[in-house]
Amino acid sequence: MIETIKKHADVLEDVPLNKYNTYHIGGITKYLVSPLSINDLVEVIKILDENKVPYFILGNGSNVVLSSKKFEGAIIRLNNIAGIAIHPELSRAYAEAGAMFPKLVMESIEKGLTGLEFAGGIPGTIGGSIYSNAGAYNACIMDYVESVTVLNKETYEIEELEHEDITYSYRNTMFKEEKKYIVLSAKFYLKPGEKANSLAILEDRKRRRLESQPLEYPSAGSVFRNPDGDFAGRIIEECNLKGTSIGGAEVSEKHANFIINKDNATSDDVYELINLVHDTVLEKTTVDLKIEQEFIGWD
């Protein structure tokens, strides 16, 4: 099976996953597979399905908590499927799933388009960002998506879904809920803008992130979704949870909605601390914080 897959992808075996997620945690995957193109991805999925091998699509690993258990299947990365095309005359941009979101932001700004500045600090891929409707500063990626090209995992057909065909909400989409599709690429509708203005916005928000977020430590960004009309960080801080730690994982002293890998944290450290924060907040305030990050490989 693997020799056949190697015709369509770069393949590594028994790979530690700590280098492939922003917490720098996780176990080993039996196969790490990087398809060479969209058509090769389709073939890889078919082969895995035919051989009943489980698989998971991993973007930049910036919104996941990976288990320390060995994954007896294939982790698929789309780093070879990462094209970007900017069309300033149409106020449009195109990006494949493996492209990094900040790279799309910068390339669109360089071509005089505005709209995506909110995402300059989001360390995710386009596919992962669409999957979870990533956002910041009261904006989200789905605000600017014109259409999404997907692989239907049931039929192996490539389909293009228009914006109105896609169900989404705050930090959530049908792609995350239903698991029927793999995001392959997207088209974005932007607006003409001034490069200098866009760069000034990016610089201001970079300064704000450095001041308010623990960027010096590995983390996966905001752990919990903000409740309507409130902020998860404020509620967690009110419960005196800043600085709480389990093993090498800690609730950041700088921003309470960040859990950081402060000192060689394990997957279990992070997992248990997230649940401790959730349960403590629920007990003290009755607020049931929704976990934004996705647990992968946990029972």
Please identify every residue annotated as catalytic. 171, 222, 292
Amino acid at 231: F
> Alpha-carbon distance 47 to 112, whole Å?
43
In angstroms, the Cα distances linking 286 to 11, 223, 235, 292 are 47, 18, 11, 18
Amino acid at 193: G
Q: Identify the sign of the CA torsion 24, 26, 30, 31.
A: negative
**E strand or H helix at 148:** strand 145-152
In angstroms, the Cα distances linking 71 to 27, 49, 141 are 7, 16, 30
Phi and psi for 146 in degrees, rounded to 5? -90, -45
> Alpha-carbon distance 202 to 105, whole Å?
10
**Nearest alpha-carbon partner for 251 in 290, 279, 277, 232:** 277
Neighbours of 121 (CB within 10 A): 20
Phi and psi for 111 in degrees, rounded to 5? -95, 10
Neighbours of 38 (CB within 10 A): 19
> Alpha-carbon distance 213 to 265, whole Å?
19
